[in-house]
Amino acid sequence: QVQLVESGGGLVQAGGSLRLSCAASERTFSRYTMGWFRQAPGKEREFVAAIRRNGDGTYYADSVKGRFTISRDDAKGTVTLQMNSLKPEETAVYYCAAGLAYYSTRSRSFDYWGQGTQVTVSS
């Protein structure tokens, strides 16, 4: 069982930046693909970014490419999402997730989830 704890959410003005972090309890953290998803009120959860196990590549939703960066530190068991040039429509609860699939943007492919952290972008 992998436990994930997100941190770093908050309130930011449009155009601003936030850095989200996710800490994992699993010692074999490096074998998991780690992802970030978000869910706005009344909307479905959507994929944001992911980084493959052992740091073997990253992939992003088209809407965040060039603005968001995902990274991981396997020694510390953490994954980070740097978010720049934030937009009001990106206000949502952001979730960290872990899964064994090598590549997937589907939430069903991720087996473990954090509790989420709120990101609010004001206009």
The per-residue pLDDT for range 69-116, each reduced to its tens digit, is: 999 999 999 999 999 999 999 999 999 999 998 888 999 999 999 999
- Rounded Cα gap, residues 40 and 51, in angstroms: 22
pLDDT of residue 55: 73
**Residue 9 near residue 77 (C-beta atoms within 8 A):** no
pLDDT reading at 29 higher than 90: no
Instruction: Out of 31-35, 41-45, 52-56, 110-114, pick the least confident.
Output: 52-56
pLDDT of residue 1: 82
Residue 97's alpha-carbon distances to 16, 32, 118, in angstroms, are 24, 9, 15
